[in-house]
A and B are shown apart, each in its own frame.
Chain A
Amino acid sequence: MARYSERHSLDTRRPRLILLWLALIAIVLYGLDTQGALDPVTDRTAPLLAPVTRALTATRQGIGSWLGGIFGTSDLAQENERLKAQITELKNENLALRSAEVENMQLRRTAGMRERYGWQTITANVVGRTPDSATRQIVIDRGSDDGLQPGMPVVSHVDGSPDALIGLVDTVTNKTATVLLITDVRSVISGYILHRDPQSGTLLQPNGEIEGQWQLGSRLRMRQIDRQAKFAVDDDVLTAGISRQLGFEAPAARIPPNIPIGKVTSLQPDGNSLMAEINPYFDPEQVQLVWIIVGVD
């Protein structure tokens, strides 16, 4: 190959002119979409693209299974899978018991009783994901026809982790829904840290706001924690369900308390309060099957 201008005798002003036009159109589209003027168009594309994205995801998963069939059907691999499932069960049991102890204290105060983990769920397959790091969302194959509504919590597990919150239903069409992952910067939910005081043995539960941090270079961050609160690295973090307890009508009020989220990896002062970095039990983008909590007994 030679130089660009030597190789092509055509006037290079033309590609530049087209580039300029396309840039102008992109800027106009950005401006219009920021104002919400293109919402009627963009909202309709998800259902239109759903059959294509579902087919492509099925193809990718088919190829993955085929490769797994070639490389992963040994007895050792099957045993590994079985043990991972067992670990998931044990971790679920452990967390449920510990969070039940905390809630028992609250229930004694309010003279109430509620069954632990009485979630009513429906399962869904992940049929789409975002193409890069700009947003953290997935598309699932259930929609308003199945009773999904914005704000409903979505849980899953991967490789021996407990069943954990991966995100909230964001937008819903008849047959599909998008789930805003908890790691996305737009995600803010109330949570608490489950900490057992090593001296007194009592369970403490400092509250805070859990913000997604992926696009900002981290995973999850819990803020607004009382400066006097006691907790430590490796403590489990669960949803607080504050909006639900206060009876708010907001979509976040659909999040029940005590859904596992992740573990504390570090803590530091943040103005007049404390801040904790949290690692989810697994990367929410890895999941292929999810459970949507549509109600609680």
Chain B
Amino acid sequence: MDNRRRRLSERIMLHLRWALLATLTALGQTYLLPSFLRTTTDLVLISGVVWTLLAADQRGAMVVFYGGIVLDLLAFTTLGTHVIGGLITVAITISIAERLPTDNWLLVLLLVGTGTLINQLAIIVLTGGTSNWVGWGSIILAPAAIVNLISALPIFLLLYWWYERRPELE
């Protein structure tokens, strides 16, 4: 019984710790990152992809879930709008990473590019859709993809450095 309680409290602490980290990531993305091409780097999504590639556990899913909820609160969107696209991206990342070597930086770029497309699609669909997909592609998707692709490798290297020092899930 004590063992089960301890395991439960450890799990709760784990989620709280990653929820805090994801909250800080979302706040940093929203309030500290400079705008480029009228958008900012999607730190939450890229962190989710990179953690999934590096650690092969639930870290990526927790970052996109808790980070997405905070983004929804900051963006005044319906809760879940910023989460669903991120979780689909993490699921794809797990599937691809099981089959391919993850030490290829092109894979990071490919997954971040795909994730940006999925995430932006999920957001536009869940917030009402559009009748002007060409305009959406040029004004929303293309700048978001460019900014995320530019940021992907530096973020990957930073988290890789962190992961090498503290690989355990804690």
Query: In the bound complex, do residue A129 and residue B76 qualify as a contact, i.e. CB atoms below 8 Å apart?
Result: no
Please name the residue on chain B nearest to A24 by beta carbon.
Answer: B87
B86: nearest chain-A partner, CB-CB: A26
Q: Contact between A132 and B75 (Cβ–Cβ < 8 Å)?
A: yes
CB <8 Å contact, B42 and A132: yes
Given the complex of chains A and B, what is the CA–CA distance between A128 and B39 in angstroms? 15
**Does B124 lie at the interface of the complex (its beta carbon under 8 Å from any beta carbon of A)?**
yes
CB contact between B74 and one of A19, A29, A130, A213 (< 8 Å): that residue: A130
B27 and A23 contacting across the interface, CB-CB below 8 Å:
no
Q: Is the interface of B mostly helix, strand, loop or mixed?
A: helix
CB atoms of B102 and A131 under 8 A apart: no
Q: Is the CB–CB distance between B138 and A217 below 8 Å?
A: yes
Taking a contact as CB atoms closer than 8 A, the residue among B34, B74, B83, B94 that contacts A16 in the complex is B94
Cβ of B106 within 8 Å of any chain A Cβ, yes or no, is no
Contact of A15 with B by CB under 8 A: yes
Which listed residue (B83, B99, B137) contacts A217, Cβ 8 A? Answer: B137
Report the separation of the CA atoms of residues A128 and B38 in the bound assembly, to the nearest whole angstrom: 15
Question: Which residues of chain B are within 8 angstroms of A19 by Cβ–Cβ distance?
Answer: 58, 61, 87, 90-91, 94
Interface centre among A25, A131, A133, A214 (most CB of B within 10 A): A131
Q: Would you call B31 and A22 a contact (CB within 8 A)?
A: no
- Name the interface residues of B70-106: CB closer than 8 Å to any CB of A: 71, 73-84, 87, 90-91, 94, 97-103
Identify B79's interface contact among A12, A30, A49, A137, CB under 8 A.
A30
Expressed in whole angstroms, the Cα–Cα distance for A53 and B27 within the complex equals 8
**25 sample A-B contacts, Cβ–Cβ < 8 Å, listed by A number:** A3-B99, A3-B101, A4-B97, A12-B56, A15-B56, A15-B61, A15-B94, A16-B94, A19-B91, A29-B80, A32-B79, A49-B74, A56-B31, A60-B31, A129-B30, A130-B75, A130-B76, A131-B30, A131-B74, A132-B42, A133-B39, A133-B144, A134-B123, A215-B128, A217-B134
Give the number of chain A interface residues (Cβ < 8 Å): 54
A45 within 8 A of B: yes
The range of chain B's interface size is 35 or more
| B128 surroundings in chain A (CB, below 8 A) | 185, 215
Q: Given A33, A128, A215, which contacts B80 in the complex, CB threshold below 8 Å?
A: A33
Q: Judging by beta carbons under 8 Å apart, are B32 and A60 in contact?
A: yes
Residue numbers in B under 8 Å from A38 (CB-CB):
79
What mask results when residues 115 to 135 of chain B are scored 1 for a CB within 8 Å of chain A, else 0? 000001001101110111111
CA distance A5 to B29 in the complex (A): 31
Q: Which of B53, B77, B130, B134 has the most CB of A within 10 A?
A: B77
Beyond A4-B102, A15-B61, A216-B136, whether A26 also contacts B68 by CB under 8 A is: yes
The interface centre, meaning the residue of A22, A27, A59, A185 with most chain B CB atoms within 10 A of its CB, is A22
Q: Given contacts A217-B135, A217-B139, are A131 and B29 in contact (CB under 8 A)?
A: yes
Q: Does A2 contact B (CB under 8 A)?
A: yes
Give a binary string over B14-51; 1 marks a CB under 8 Å from any A CB, 0 the rest. 00000000000011111110110011101000000000
Q: Are B94 and A4 in contact (CB under 8 A)?
A: yes
* Cross-chain contact B75 with A134 (CB below 8 angstroms): yes
Mark out the residues of chain A between 181 and 220 whose CB falls within 8 Å of any chain B CB in the assembled complex.
185, 213-218
Partner of A135, one of B77, B87, B101: B77
Given A4-B98, A56-B27: A216 touches B79 (CB 8 Å cut-off): no
Complex interface: chain B residues within 8 A of A145 (CB): none
Known contacts A131-B29, A134-B127; is-contact A217 B87 (Cβ 8 Å): no
